[in-house]
Amino acid sequence: MNIFITGASGFVGSHLKEYLYARYQNHTLFTPSSKELDLSDEKAVDKYILENQIDVIVHTANRGGGRDTADMKNVTEYNLRIFFNLAKHEKDVQKIISFGSGAEYGKHQPIIKAKEDDSLKALPLDEYGFYKSITSRYIERAQNIIQLRIFGAYGEYENYRFKFISNAIVKNLLHLPITINKNVYFDYIYIDDLVKMIDFFIHNDVREKIYNVTTGTKVDLITLANLINEVSDFQSDIHVINEGLNNEYTSNNERILKELGDFQFTSHKNAIAKMRCCFQENLEQLDIQTIKEDPYIKKIDSMWKGK
């Protein structure tokens, strides 16, 4: 099987590449960098897919959606151009797996145990969520494309400068306080579990077009910070800047569990312990100054409120 992974140097893509390399000896992975293949170049994408006889496209390449890209312009156009350069080839391949986001439900409002079809009730105000919403609505009518909707994936290799769990682990390792802008419930999934789900969708036919790839269980940031202290030999102070709760961001995952059957999720405590070991081994190579300055802490307040 020839599998083309876009964004293979990114967080999800790099983990998926490692997982598939280790698990399947009879698969050929095509993982070009952005310098090797410009995904916004329609003719270049056409040539790459057809010449390499791609069987499955896993589209993880993406711009926006994080605190470090909150001020990025033209997110919608750039991402849609890439998406449709790939989607046009749905008849040339066995399947295309794309990735949605809980932001499709509109993060300017609480998202509570959202089912897949709930995203049709309102459009997001921000560019990133709007772009993801457009792709899902297209995929609902496509023949050979699946959208896996992520609410919050975390793990090794993520951007520890601002991603909460990694950021908090590194702060703990540096004996710094863990700062939370405002407590909130998320539906986080550990990256090892996510790539197992993606593996299932690569190798199996499924009944639906859109799936929430989540645990279906909510956890708040203070609880996660306490778990970080629990697996550490140092107890970081936990500072919450604003009282109360921010808009909840959780999902219903009944649809995907019907496909997967008996799926065992990694506990947050075990995942955090594994991540802590990884960051501890590489602590000297990290951007410690940015961790101390914490420039992204307040950007979350304005990310989802539209242009």
Domains of the chain by start residue, with CATH: 2-153+190-212 (3.40.50.720), 158-186+216-252+266-300 (3.90.25.10)
Close Cβ partners of 293 (under 8 Å, ≥ 6 residues apart): none
Q: Which residues pair with 238 in a beta bridge?
A: 178
Strand order across the 28-30 sheet: 28-30, 2-6, 56-59, 95-101, 145-150, 210-212
Q: Please, which pLDDT band fits residue 49 given cuts at 50, 70 and 90?
A: very high
236-273 pLDDT, tens digit per residue, is 999 999 999 999 999 999 999 999 999 999 999 999 99
Residue 178's φ and ψ, nearest 5 degrees, are: -95, 120
Alpha-carbon distance of 242 to 33, in angstroms, equals 40
Overall average pLDDT of the 105-127 stretch: 91
Overall average pLDDT of the 32-38 stretch: 95
Measure Cα distances from 201 to 24, 189, 231 in Å. Answer: 15, 17, 33
175-229 pLDDT, tens digit per residue, is 999 999 999 999 999 999 999 999 999 999 999 999 999 999 999 999 999 999 9
